[in-house]
Amino acid sequence: MLSLPLATASGERAPLVDALFTAVSAVCVTGLATVDTGSYWSLFGQVVILLLIQAGGLGIMTLATLIALLLRHRLGLRARLVAQTETKTLTSADVRRVVRRVVLFSLVCEAVVAVVLTARFAAEYDERLGAALYDGVFHAVSAFNNAGFSTNADSLVGYAGDPVVLGAVCAAVVVGGLGFPVVFELVRSWRRPSRWSVLTRITVAVTAVLLVVGTVGYLVGEVSNPATLGALDPEDRALGAFTASVMARTAGFNAVDIGALRPETLFLTDVLMFIGGGSAGTAGGIKVTTFGLLAFVVWAEVRGEPAVVVGRRRVPQATQRQALSVALLGTALAVVGTSLLLDLSRVSLDQALFEAVSAFATVGLSTGITADLPTSAQLVLVALMLAGRVGPLTLATALALRERSRRTQYPEERTIVG
């Protein structure tokens, strides 16, 4: 559809690589782009991108389940198990209700953010109501689904000092990135943290810590940089640092020039992007649950504890191995992707690593080199985006399904570690 002449503003057919790259980036809710979304694509092309973002955010399997519901008005066991895997429900009996709640919650959140942004764009930026409504809806859908696509050539740089626009976008990014199971549990039991599940405890705690660490890191690293936070008014710098910390969690919007960040801040962004957001949500990366669980594993090992305990709940060893597998394979993909980008293009290590991690973690932030990369390097990013979107979930599910018990055990032997 993006290859149609109708999809471009000029009326000429888009090159296949640009159409493929944009389609993959949209459906993987990444946000990386080889062409400017607002000026290169026509209204038809932008609507196609918006629909791909929505489909990718809801999840391919969840969307397929909804289609089956509409066509057959019932769910078979296979379809219910598929939906159960995507939505992380514990039983198959409530899958239909959960999927409906996921879709309804997504649409309601996007509608609320769209109303706030539309009102702000119309009142403060003198946009016509129709244009303000379109921009509000586009950015609301893109933000909640952690996509990072924007109709503005400079993303959110033009709103760097606007707490309403940045606040609404950040709220949508955080809520969408927490994950549907966590959000539903918080709605039910937000007053009783003692009853939260291990998933919710880890997700909320690690998300809060990373947001604080990211905000402080950006302030320390960039407050004296005149090309980024240093260019903002003193009262706007904290907002800019917080926004950058939120967006590094797989959202892809930027309110400052990413290409002008200092090397230490770029590396901090690499780490935040790689960790990502919550499970079963719209965020990417290896997920905060994976990172948090591995932190608890290390803490238990340092203390000499025989088991990993989170909130008075013992974490099974199989789950620990799954987290370790996801983290190590994610690291391998980022390393291989960086190596290929260095081999196929003339970019620095900082730029190659940043671009590879951004693609794998489906973030969408870029130092500005995406459009200038050779076709071969852009195809590497396409592969990384696909792997980053379906890889961690598929790997974790496959490992869980392959779990089996042995009737015999081999003798134990220790080896040297470290």
pLDDT tens-digit readout, 362-395: 999 999 999 999 999 999 999 999 998 887 666 6
Distance CA 141, CA 406 (A): 47
Least reliable range by pLDDT among 264-278, 287-301, 343-357, 390-404? 390-404
- The percent of residues above 70 in pLDDT, for the chain, comes to 87
CA atoms within 13 A on the CB side of 361: 36
Name 346's Cβ contacts closer than 8 Å, sequence gap at least 6: none
Q: pLDDT value at position 93?
A: 53
Residue 293, pLDDT above cutoff 50: yes
Contact 180, 149 (CB under 8 A): no
> Would you give the distance in Å from CA 67 to the centre of its chain?
25
**DSSP designation for 241:** H
Per-residue pLDDT reduced to its tens digit, 92-145: 555 677 678 888 889 999 999 999 999 999 999 989 999 999 999 999 999 999
What is residue 309's three-state secondary structure? Answer: strand
> Would you give the distance in Å from CA 178 to the centre of its chain?
10
What mean pLDDT is predicted for residues 48-54? 95
Q: pLDDT value at position 76?
A: 54
**DSSP designation for 12:** S
Residue 83, pLDDT above cutoff 60: no
Contact 280, 87 (CB under 8 A): yes
Name 218's Cβ contacts closer than 8 Å, sequence gap at least 6: 229, 240, 241, 244, 245, 265, 268
CA distance readout (Å), 329 to 105, 206, 268, 290: 32, 21, 20, 12
Q: pLDDT value at position 283?
A: 82
* Mean pLDDT for all residues in the chain: 87
**DSSP designation for 8:** B
Contact 233, 161 (CB under 8 A): yes
Burial track 207-246 (b if 16+ CB lie within 10 A, e otherwise): beebbeebbebbbebbbebeebbebbeeebbebbbbbbbb
Per-residue pLDDT reduced to its tens digit, 24-39: 999 999 999 999 999 9
pLDDT band of 78, cuts 50, 70, 90: low
Distance CA 18, CA 21 (A): 5
Contact 115, 136 (CB under 8 A): yes
Per-residue pLDDT reduced to its tens digit, 205-258: 999 999 999 999 999 999 999 999 998 988 899 999 999 999 998 888 999 999
Place of tokens 């290390």: 298
Nearest by Cα to 351 from 365, 363, 362, 333 = 365
Q: Judging by beta carbons within 10 Å of its beta carbon (0-12, 13-18, 19+), is residue 4 exposed, middle or buried?
A: middle
